Structure 1
């Protein structure tokens, strides 16, 4: 295992190295089966858990720009890859390209619905665009006053959640852009996530605060009981039973939270790339493999699987 010698605490029981250099973007399917890795321009490598070689290599047309955004659908059937001004859609079942698009505005955030039937795009100019890829219908949402930092879709594509530098997360309907709830923050909203059915949401701000919400009312459910300072959330995933939240952050943080009260259940540190400096890592993607196992993919290029059952019992 490629972990620093001074690390304390639990080690992953499974570890795969997917990249030798710094990873610019990464994502994983909800169950950790597929891992997407970008280290710059094309190709994006797609790995299947347990394989010794990439399953697919995806090329972003003729673009030489870095691929900086990756997204997988909640059902693990489709994925999207993007540079600042191009978008490509893919089948995870076959590896085939399902569409390539050039964008009119610089892209900052990306989400994709089940089976790849819709995408949500968040732009630097503060607009968010929903695209139904089956019908071709496009809907422009202009409810924010500043750039979009993060977006998410419910699995069926009917609900959108957008977070902006203006300090607000907004839940809205993709059918008519009607606003269902405004989720206020004291600082810029850096991350938003929905559970698959759109019944709960998580949002984080630039100062390291994390808030859980009940939907569609927008009623606050709980604030995460974040220990200390300096936390920045990068990724998050609700578990299928909807009673836990898994987050990844800066400084190698991988954390498990209780939904009803925001209590921290478990805290882990992901591994390091021994040849890269500074010696830290960001957790780009997290997944629930099953109720007792979680998975993380980090900027160090390491995919790691962790056991939860014994550690969680100590918090009960």
Structure 2
């Protein structure tokens, strides 16, 4: 009847979280003020950012060497809204706020193709070979686009704007999340809708595991889940206290390990967690640094990657983090 009995539990949980939280090992500045978009290659060896002040650039890690400037028009800093790497790390795609879509070689830094996107882009996922780009659009569409040769190959429909898209490493399935409160899983070859999950709020982040076994879905109400792509059933409640604790930090990024046993997630509030999907629990928890500790500004974790013995993250504040 009264909420007071929950308070001791909430306080205990907060103390437990603080006690288990680790600081990042190192961080480097990739952008002076912050990023409009960013991406990490699957192996964590390359970072791509869209700087608020200086447009797009590619960085090689762990040397933290700025390799190439990637802007869509010579002499003009592009305002990038989305970026992604191919699974083989050899290609990358960027989209700007003018509906320009560019495919780049991450080996030479040269553009491979320029296209006019079929709408305002919100998010991008590239196929493993880089031949196809899955585009989330600010209208109600997700588009499978042949980014090497041009042309729309398939269209996946929602009832409102699409915020996030993902493609499985084997290219068999695509996942889209929308303001219509749903995440939809599609068969790439046939375009058939496989599952339609209602999350009760705007879906802001999605991810698929390499062999399309699992789907990650996060909504703006802090609810986040891992679903079985075959049955559609809930496998793991990523944020089990979201409903009874009220609104908390929204999860905005996630990536599965190659063996599909771990999940790395990032929030709008500087938090990064490593989840064990077999044990169904958080096994590591970090809260990364702000640029200026005395300013209570949030940092959204825009991109994540698994390394051999460490983890990588890029924050919206322009900092690159290495976690152990």
For the criterion TM > 0.5, the same-fold answer is yes
After TM superposition, give the deviation of residue 233 of structure 1 in Å: 1.1
Structure 1 gaps of 5+ residues are: 1-6, 308-316
The verdict on how the C-alpha distance between 1:64 and 1:180 changes in structure 2, with shifts beyond 3 A counting, is same
Aligned mates of 1:112, 1:187 — CA distance in 2: 26
CA RMSD, aligned part only? 2.3
- Of the structure 1 ranges 10-19 and 128-137, higher mean CA displacement relative to structure 2 is found in 128-137
Partner of residue 322, structure 2: 305
User: Cα deviation per residue 1:115-148 (whole Å; 9 max; x = unaligned)?
Assistant: 2111011111101110234564523424311110
Aligned mates of 1:144, 1:265 — CA distance in 2: 35
Give the 3-state SS of the residue equivalent to 2:66 in structure 1: coil
What are the within-5 Å matches in structure 2 for residues 1-316 of structure 1?
A: 9-40=21-52, 43-61=55-73, 66-84=79-97, 85-133=99-147, 136=150, 138-226=152-240, 229-260=247-278, 262-274=280-292, 277-290=295-308, 292-307=309-324
8 A Cα contact 1:180 1:217, kept in partner:
no
Aligned mates of 2:150, 2:189 — CA distance in 1: 13
- Of the structure 1 ranges 101-110 and 129-138, higher mean CA displacement relative to structure 2 is found in 129-138
Aligned mates of 1:54, 1:194 — CA distance in 2: 29
Aligned mates of 2:109, 2:231 — CA distance in 1: 39
8 A Cα contact 1:296 1:305, kept in partner:
yes
Query: How many residue pairs align between the two structures?
Result: 300
- Of the structure 1 ranges 193-202 and 155-164, higher mean CA displacement relative to structure 2 is found in 155-164
- Of the structure 1 ranges 53-62 and 129-138, higher mean CA displacement relative to structure 2 is found in 129-138
Give the 3-state SS of the residue equivalent to 1:68 in structure 2: strand
User: Cα deviation per residue 1:222-256 (whole Å; 9 max; x = unaligned)?
Assistant: 21145554121111110122111001111111111
8 A Cα contact 1:255 1:264, kept in partner:
yes
Aligned mates of 2:166, 2:182 — CA distance in 1: 14
User: Cα deviation per residue 1:70-123 (whole Å; 9 max; x = unaligned)?
Assistant: 111233222111113111111212222111111242111211111211101111
TM-score (structure 2 length as normaliser): 0.85
After TM superposition, give the deviation of residue 282 of structure 1 in Å: 1.2
Aligned mates of 2:144, 2:53 — CA distance in 1: 25
8 A Cα contact 2:105 2:112, kept in partner:
yes
Structure 2 gaps of 5+ residues are: 1-17
The verdict on how the C-alpha distance between 1:127 and 1:302 changes in structure 2, with shifts beyond 3 A counting, is same
User: Cα deviation per residue 1:150-190 (whole Å; 9 max; x = unaligned)?
Assistant: 00111233321111111111111222311122222111111
8 A Cα contact 1:119 1:133, kept in partner:
yes
After TM superposition, give the deviation of residue 31 of structure 1 in Å: 2.0
8 A Cα contact 2:43 2:307, kept in partner:
yes
Give the 3-state SS of the residue equivalent to 1:177 in structure 2: coil
User: Cα deviation per residue 1:282-314 (whole Å; 9 max; x = unaligned)?
Assistant: 111111102x4111111222212111xxxxxxx
8 A Cα contact 1:120 1:129, kept in partner:
yes
